[in-house]
Amino acid sequence: MSFDDLPAYVVSNENQRLTTNFVPNVTDVLTVAGSGDQALFYKLAGARVVDTFDITPNARVIQDIKYAAVKSVPVDEYKSLLCQLRCLSNDIMSVPQMVKLKQFLTKESRERIEQKKSQYIFGIGPNVDMHPENIPTPEEYEKLKNILEKPFVFILSDLESLGVKLNQKYDLINISNIFDNCYDTQTQTKILHDLSDHLKIGGRIAYLPQYKRFKYQNLKLPKLVYEKTLKHNQEEMILFQRTR
């Protein structure tokens, strides 16, 4: 299976309500798109700009669907929509809520849905009920409805190529757990070096390991150093900070 066809999660396996508040008061954020929960919860945490990236275009689709759902369907239909999408074995547009959502989707996501139709573009990852903490409460849902103005910027890219596709600086770049299974130490170091050019002074790269392979405490690059590791129950976030 190519990365182009890699199915997307419909719910994150990381506690987004917690991890998006690990580093408070961030204004401009770049985050992996993942299941789309990352972007929503960064907005809830107060970020002004939230741009996203991912290696699979299917991540854009689920992210756009969640944006469209917030704008067009009531909160009590949101979870049901995600459950139906995860178990879907036929045309995405057969899900009743999708008729209302379609007008809010980006052109790219509408075209992707039309091209793939019944192909398996969702379903990888946990059941929605396994991570209820990533379902917005009615109050959060209403807040999102009021603050979301347009779909999130999406950059189709692997992590190694991401730096050359960026044209602004961020307070925080969230790479999720990508380092767990991808890239050797030399390549990881180069990625961190490249991404540091797109951080504001004092800005951070956040890595949320689940199967950490390497130690980072001695990392020291021209503009980036290991700062600290935050922990809460099973959640962990390794932070690298731009120094100059």
pLDDT in tens, 45-90: 999 999 999 999 999 999 999 999 999 999 999 999 999 998 776 7
Chain segment 189-236, per-residue pLDDT in tens? 999 999 999 999 999 999 999 999 999 999 999 999 999 999 998 899
Rounded Cα gap, residues 222 and 234, in angstroms: 32
Say how many C-beta atoms besides its own lie within 10 A of residue 44's C-beta: 20
Rounded Cα gap, residues 11 and 135, in angstroms: 8
Say how many C-beta atoms besides its own lie within 10 A of residue 26's C-beta: 24
Q: Residue 62: enclosing H or E segment and its boundaries?
A: helix 57-72
- Evaluate if pTM is beyond 0.75: yes
Three-state SS at 211: coil
